[in-house]
Amino acid sequence: MRIAIVDESASRAAVIREGLDAIDDCEIFVLTERRGLVAEIAGIAPDIVLIDLGNPSRDVLEEYFAVSRALARPIAMFVDESDAEAISASIDAGVSSYVVDGLAAHRIRPILDLAVRRFNAFAKLQADLDEAQGKLAERECIDRAKRILMESRKITEPQAYAELRTAAMDQSRRIAEIAQAVVTAHKLLGGA
């Protein structure tokens, strides 16, 4: 496992590193500079990012939230104090675990595990949502293609669907692909 620790304080980074000592086969990278952080993290390609901010200003928090949005990785963020607005912004930024006043070596491993599990759960939900939206878009395209065929050929809905299905089988393509071709052709020929 590759873990990136982002912390401007060497002593606080050491606490996190101590909490990770028990993990076998673990490469740890400590990043202390905020400049070029996204590129540096991308170069490391960590499995998880642990960010310790201590007592950050609103600008620093926003800067790190921008980093969180750019990464598709589990992120655990440690802060000393927080408010509802910062917590909400961290969730929107994709932070998997936002820990207030909880930087202690013995807590690092459970927090890391939680961040990974929450990230994976959210990623699965996002994949399921993307799949459902894709299927809905395909369904809408098929319905539109059926309407085009029904209007242009004066046929019933079952007949229009049968034509789409037959064309899909004949061409070894999916019905949604044939439907998209019908809709595109209709647009090119001046249809609405």
Long-range contacts formed by 174-182: CB under 8 A, 24+ apart: 175/142, 176/138, 176/141, 176/142, 178/145, 179/138, 179/141, 179/142, 179/144, 179/145, 179/146, 180/141, 180/145, 182/145, 182/148, 182/149
Q: What does the pLDDT read at residue 192? A: 64
Tell me whether residue 65 is in a domain.
yes
Segments forming the whole domain that contains residue 136: 132-188
Q: What is the pTM of this model?
A: 0.69
Is the per-residue pLDDT at 184 higher than 80? yes
137 found inside a domain: yes
Is the same domain home to 23 and 69?
Answer: yes
Q: Domain tally for the chain?
A: 2
Report yes or no on 115 lying in a domain: no
Window from 70-74, 105-109, 156-160 with minimum mean pLDDT: 70-74
Q: Do residues 97 and 163 share a domain?
A: no
CATH code of the domain covering residue 11: 3.40.50.2300
Domain holding 145: CATH number? 1.10.10.10
**Region 1-23: what's the mean pLDDT?**
86
For the segment 54-104, what is each residue's pLDDT rounded down to a tens digit? Answer: 766 667 777 777 777 777 888 888 888 777 887 887 887 778 888 888 778
> What average pLDDT score do residues 119-148 get?
95
Residues 94 and 6 in one domain: yes
Q: Is residue 114 part of a domain?
A: no
My answer on whether 29 and 90 are in the same domain is: yes
